[in-house]
Amino acid sequence: MKKIIFVITVLLFCISANSQERRLALVIGNGNYPMSILANPGNDAKSMEKALKGIGFDVKKYENLKQKEMARAIDDFGNRLKNYDVGFFFYAGHGVQSKGFNYLIPVDAVLKTESDVEFNCVRADRVLGKMEDAKNSINIIILDACRDNPFERSWTRAARGRGLATITAPVGSVIAFATSPGSTASDGPGENGLFTSGLLTHLSEPGITAIQMFQKVTAYVYGKSNGQQLPWVSTSLTGDFFLVPGSGKADNAMVIKDVDVLNIDNITNRSNKEISIAVMPFSNLTGNAELDYLVKGQHDALYTELSKLGQVKPLRVVGGRTVSALSNDQMSIPEIARQVNVDFLVEASVLGSDDSIILHIRLIQAFPEERPVLAITYTSDIRNILKLHSNIAGQIAQKINLGLTTENLIKLPSPRQVNPESYKAYLRGMYHLNQLTPEAKGKGLEYLHEAVRIDPGDPFAYAGLALGYLEIAHGPLDTGDALSKAEAAALKAIKLDSTMAEVYAALAELNLYSYWKFDEAEKYFIKALELNPNMALTHYHYAWALYLFDRMEEAIVEHKLAQKYDPFNPLHTAWLGGLYCYDGRYEDAIREALKSLEIQKDYSAGYFVLGDIYLTMGRKDEAIEAHKKLAEVAPWWNWALGFTYAISGHRDEAEKILNELEISEVNSWNAFGLTMMYGALGKMDEAFKWLAYEPHHAWVAWVAVLPWFKTLHDDPRFNDFVIRLNLPK
């Protein structure tokens, strides 16, 4: 039944999306004052006219108006506004407050004393009054008018330097000032004033509410002015209003007003606990299965943008393998939420072509009862798709009461525009790279290389290549150059974009697995997790770095974080069992290994860890059975069975597997296995020969600490190897 309602909702949007609000804007830029010419208001007016027309407004634009001309323009605007749904007034120029009222200063004003203001200027309230008389739904007033006023120099001291006064916005309106009441604003060194530059940067972003837009403008101005200028906004909107036509249309089937979510304070902030949310796999409603890669890419983009918010506010975002596993079960929303311990779920569907994305987003509160919090459809072209997801994440943060502040927003990097063709190649690459077959991984790398060819300045493609080659370096597919290729891609990515957590994660892994620069590795792990605390795989790799550094307690804590953020990923569960085993916690270790096999049937690492635990405990027959099953489901792990035979005293069986391995293809994966097997059989010369194989496998440094290699410890060459690693003290 839920799915039927969801589809009907989407259809209702498609019917209603064509009818947009009628929008009218009045734009005035006054700069040619006799006493002080302002360079920017004329440019501001022209730029705002163009921007407002681009988002569906009919615009009347004027420059350098005298008092009577200003009054007439405002009155005409008010009369026309009665036939429109949305009104927008923008003024750039000098403004002043007098006796508690704000005035816009015409270019012919003569203001020798403060008493001249009332008779020579135009009260800002005149605009507000005309808008109220029109009785339209939404009104926005923007006053970039708080510049230092040259007319005040001849006034009395008591009348000078007070900026503009506070105005309270009536219901259904927003009033925005370039700076706080009583303060002055910068005219700006560029073609536009600082405040107007912020407006032009964010006004046309898709999927952004008017309030979110002003929050972003505030962060922009505050940051660019080094904290010297802080815009001020008064609003009495009763719901969400989206400035970009076609973005953020609320469904006719379910319009959710702000008042509906006021109770969320009692849910999400009880005991100040961490808020948690799961982003479920998106549904492909495009009618084209070949666009599955695009749908998966939209899921990953929103997951990433939500995850970034964790760097400024405690927010746990569940995604990855976990939500894929849960989506295949026929569970209710509360059941899914209980499985992964989250407060909210995001469901979404994707419509449209691969050039224009239509996203239908539903945010659902799971406890104490299931209820929708947000249901909106957004549209965007590919070029601005990352901005769209950033804005959706911001709106979700508002609805779940995350409490983002201006200071929080300043810390977050602004999403970049993308090259549509390069981005689509990147999404195809990541879609295939995340599949399990060797063929799919190879195809994924081909698409990522294509993305780089299309746009050599695309940091996402380079970051994807780095992580893809690093993953290959951990398994049997490495032909010996995976780490060097990962290095080249990561170094290119960091030059192009130093704000991507994925790039720092790749550099951390390179320093850990390839360079053996362990202090650098830890520095990059910490940086990556500061930028995105929800990166489960990065927590996993950092945990194994900590184990290598002989910091077992910290390693287990970090591994549990990997499990926390992606609990149904068998990788995090199986190898947590490995850490428990090496810490002597055998029952905990067996539990985790068995759990990984429940999550994914015949999971190879699960069988490996389970056999390793049994072998460590002296349960040799059970260890052999586990590793026989491993060799059956993943033949490239055959050396693990040979090692277990050798440790268990079945030397003939071990020698047979060893001979098979010797005549197989030589690569870093097999070299690692040969080191284990020769060490277990007491053949030290051969063991150290394969230990020195280059290019080395990603796991080689762990020869220093893993109990698999304890037979090597008495050989002087082992000590030389450990010294060469130069592990942290």
pLDDT, one tens digit per residue, over 123-158 is 998 999 999 999 998 999 999 986 555 665 555 544
Q: Which of 86, 89, 199, 75 is nearest to 141 (CA)?
A: 89
Q: Establish if 160 belongs to a structural domain.
A: yes
Lowest mean pLDDT among 234-238, 280-284, 614-618, 713-717: 234-238
Quick one: 40 and 169 in the same domain?
yes
Quick one: 352 and 210 in the same domain?
no
Specify the DSSP class assigned to residue 569.
Answer: -
Q: Which of 572, 574, 590, 581 is nearest to 535 (CA)?
A: 572
Q: What phi and psi values does residue 98 have, to the nearest 5 degrees?
A: -145, 125
Quick one: 288 and 215 in the same domain?
no
Quick one: 60 and 206 in the same domain?
yes
Q: Establish if 701 belongs to a structural domain.
A: yes
Mean pLDDT on 52-65: 95
Alpha-carbon distance of 516 to 511, in angstroms, equals 5
Q: What is the CATH number of the domain that holds 225?
A: 3.40.50.1460
Quick one: 117 and 25 in the same domain?
yes
Mean predicted lDDT score pLDDT of the chain: 86
In the chain, the N- to C-terminal Cα span, in Å, equals 60
CB atoms within 10 A of CB 5: 11
Specify the DSSP class assigned to residue 225.
Answer: T
Q: What's the pTM value of the predicted model, to 2 decimals?
A: 0.74
Examine the pLDDT at 51 and tell me if it is beyond 90. yes
Q: How far is CA 248 from CA 20, 241, 377, 670, in A?
A: 11, 8, 5, 54
Contacts of 551 (CB under 8 A, 6+ apart): none
Alpha-carbon distance of 494 to 528, in angstroms, equals 12
Q: What is the CATH number of the domain that holds 313?
A: 3.40.50.10070
Q: Establish if 416 belongs to a structural domain.
A: no
Q: Establish if 625 belongs to a structural domain.
A: no
Lowest mean pLDDT among 309-318, 401-410, 637-646: 401-410
Quick one: 126 and 258 in the same domain?
no
Alpha-carbon distance of 487 to 463, in angstroms, equals 10
Picking from 371, 406, 441, the residue at the C-terminal end of a domain is: 406
Map 276-335 to HEC letters. Answer: EEEECCCEECCCCHHHHHHHHHHHHHHHHHHHHHHHCCCEEEECHHHHHHHHCCCCCHHH
**Confidence tier at 512 by pLDDT (50, 70, 90):** very high
Structure tokens belonging to residue 599 = 């999550």
The CB-side HSE value for 484 (13 A sphere, CA atoms) comes to 6
Quick one: 302 and 368 in the same domain?
yes
Q: Establish if 521 belongs to a structural domain.
A: no
Lowest mean pLDDT among 192-201, 322-331, 381-390: 322-331
| Residue 269 pLDDT | 39
Side chain identity, residue 66? K
Which residue, chain included where needed, has tokens 């990541």?
Answer: 430
| Residue 540 pLDDT | 97
Specify the DSSP class assigned to residue 113.
Answer: S
Examine the pLDDT at 20 and tell me if it is beyond 70. no
Examine the pLDDT at 713 and tell me if it is beyond 60. yes
Alpha-carbon distance of 307 to 317, in angstroms, equals 6
| Alpha carbon 261 to its chain's center | 24
| Residue 236 pLDDT | 78
Picking from 406, 422, 452, the residue at the C-terminal end of a domain is: 406
| Residue 368 pLDDT | 80
| Residue 185 pLDDT | 62
Examine the pLDDT at 201 and tell me if it is beyond 80. yes
Range of the domain at 347: 249-406
Examine the pLDDT at 303 and tell me if it is beyond 60. yes
Q: How far is CA 584 from CA 552, 563, 589, 626, in A?
A: 11, 20, 9, 20
Examine the pLDDT at 375 and tell me if it is beyond 90. no
Q: Which residues pair with 62 in a beta bridge?
A: 28
Q: How far is CA 78 from CA 30, 67, 135, 143, 583, in A?
A: 20, 17, 10, 17, 76
Contacts of 653 (CB under 8 A, 6+ apart): 642, 645
| Residue 157 pLDDT | 41
Alpha-carbon distance of 273 to 262, in angstroms, equals 18
Q: What contacts 24+ positions apart, CB below 8 Å, involve 706-709?
A: 706/582, 707/582, 707/616, 708/612, 708/643, 708/676, 708/679, 708/680, 709/675, 709/676, 709/679
| Residue 10 pLDDT | 39
pLDDT, one tens digit per residue, over 342-367 is 999 999 999 876 678 888 899 999 88
Examine the pLDDT at 324 and tell me if it is beyond 80. yes
Quick one: 259 and 400 in the same domain?
yes
Contacts of 79 (CB under 8 A, 6+ apart): 130
| Residue 533 pLDDT | 94
Alpha-carbon distance of 349 to 339, in angstroms, equals 23
**Confidence tier at 222 by pLDDT (50, 70, 90):** confident
Examine the pLDDT at 241 and tell me if it is beyond 90. no
Element (H, E) at 461: helix 459-473
Mean pLDDT on 611-623: 97
Q: Establish if 244 belongs to a structural domain.
A: no
Q: Establish if 181 belongs to a structural domain.
A: yes
Structure tokens belonging to residue 159 = 């009348």
Alpha-carbon distance of 598 to 570, in angstroms, equals 9
β strands within 600-679, DSSP E: none
| Residue 270 pLDDT | 37
More confident residue, 127 or 434: 127
Alpha-carbon distance of 432 to 471, in angstroms, equals 13
Q: What phi and psi values does residue 53 have, to the nearest 5 degrees?
A: -60, -35
Examine the pLDDT at 221 and tell me if it is beyond 90. no
Quick one: 93 and 184 in the same domain?
yes
Residue 377: strand, helix, or coil = strand
Quick one: 679 and 716 in the same domain?
yes
Quick one: 228 and 257 in the same domain?
no
Lowest mean pLDDT among 256-265, 385-394, 457-466: 256-265
More confident residue, 591 or 214: 591
Q: Establish if 585 belongs to a structural domain.
A: no
Quick one: 83 and 221 in the same domain?
yes
pLDDT, one tens digit per residue, over 568-610 is 999 999 999 999 999 999 999 999 999 999 999 999 999 999 9
Q: What contacts 24+ positions apart, CB below 8 Å, involve 42-49?
A: 43/191, 43/192, 44/90, 44/92, 44/144, 44/192, 44/193, 44/196, 45/90, 45/92, 47/191, 47/192, 47/196, 47/200, 48/90, 48/92, 48/196, 48/199, 48/200, 49/25
Alpha-carbon distance of 528 to 524, in angstroms, equals 6
pLDDT, one tens digit per residue, over 168-196 is 667 788 898 888 765 666 555 678 888 99
| Residue 7 pLDDT | 39
**Confidence tier at 59 by pLDDT (50, 70, 90):** very high
Side chain identity, residue 427? L
**Confidence tier at 317 by pLDDT (50, 70, 90):** very high
Domains in the chain, number: 3
Alpha-carbon distance of 362 to 372, in angstroms, equals 7
Picking from 366, 386, 406, the residue at the C-terminal end of a domain is: 406
Whether omega before 368 lies within 30 degrees of 0, making that bond cis, reads yes
Taken as a whole, the chain contains a residue count of 729
